[in-house]
Amino acid sequence: MKNISLNDIPHQTDSDNYQTLIETLPVDSQTTILLLNGDVLKKENYRITHINSGDKIDLISFVGGG
């Protein structure tokens, strides 16, 4: 198991890469933006990007706003 943080909340995962991680989360992967250690991780790179313990993930989405 790896210890990562999701939006500052500690999270444990046995996923190997970000594609499998996001599939375990109750989010719409198409419209969710994932920041890995502060930078946008493009969707096409989810599968080839390995998860390391200590990774800081931010999950971001668009919301209604003026």
Which residues of this chain interact with other proteins, rule CB under 8 A?
A: 6-7, 25-28, 31-33, 35, 39-40, 42, 58-66
* Closest to other proteins by CB, 20 or 58: 58
From the CB of 35, what's the least distance to other proteins, in Å? 7
- Residue 10's contacts (CB-CB under 8 Å, 6 or more residues apart) are 3, 4
Question: If you count them, how many residues does the chain have?
Answer: 66
User: Encoding tokens for residue 45?
Assistant: 């790179």
Give the tokens for residue 29. 């992967």
Write down the least CB distance from residue 9 to other proteins, Å. 8
